[in-house]
Structure 1
Amino acid sequence: MAETPSPEEVERGDDYYHVRFRDPDEFDTIRTPDWAENAAGSVVEGSEVRTGHEKEGGDDDWEIQSVLVPIDEVDGEDEAREQAQKIVEKIES
């Protein structure tokens, strides 16, 4: 995986803050892998990680596209951004 990205944008949905690290248009496919659930949940319970497979570049690496942080588990967008960053750092370390 590439170097750890910084959050680009935070959007509030009905149940989650969607913390975007990379533009979804960069990817052919986006998935929510089971293997990331334990790492994400150990930082904020109920969080999900979405990974994407790049359209161009030719390698088989999947990169983190975004992290979904449950609204009920954090106190606002700033904390969602901080916790999502910790999740990404934990996965990519």
Structure 2
Amino acid sequence: MADVPSIKSVETADEYIHVRFRDPDVFDTIRTPDWAANAARDISEGAEVRTGKRSGSDDWEIQSVLIKKQAGKEKARDEAKEIAEKIES
């Protein structure tokens, strides 16, 4: 995976706050792998990580991090950034 990008948007929907790092439209495939969720849960219980793969690439990049809505937007931003840094390192 590449360097940690900056946060593009933070949106609340259903049970999660979606912290978007990359536009989902740039990916051919998006998945929510268990290994990434396991890494994320050490920082934020119930968090999920969506990763994307671009056409012609074998690399998976973080597209967004989903944090439980109860955290609030500011805490969700901080936790998502920490999760992205942990996964990318």
Could you say whether these structures have the same fold, taking a TM-score greater than 0.5 normalized by the shorter chain as the test?
yes
Query: 2:20 matched to 1:20?
Result: yes
TM-score normalised over the length of structure 1: 0.91
TM-score normalised over the length of structure 2: 0.95
**Match of 1:33?**
33
Q: How many residues align?
A: 89
Poorly superposed stretches of 4+, deviation over 3 Å: none
**Which consecutive unaligned segments of at least 5 residues does structure 1 have?**
none
- Give, as a single letter, the amino acid of the residue that structure 1 aligns with 2:13: G
Q: What is the distance in 2 between the residues matched to 1:21 and 1:5?
A: 6
**Which consecutive unaligned segments of at least 5 residues does structure 2 have?**
none
Q: Percent identity?
A: 63
**Match of 1:61?**
59
Secondary structure of the equivalent of 1:43? coil
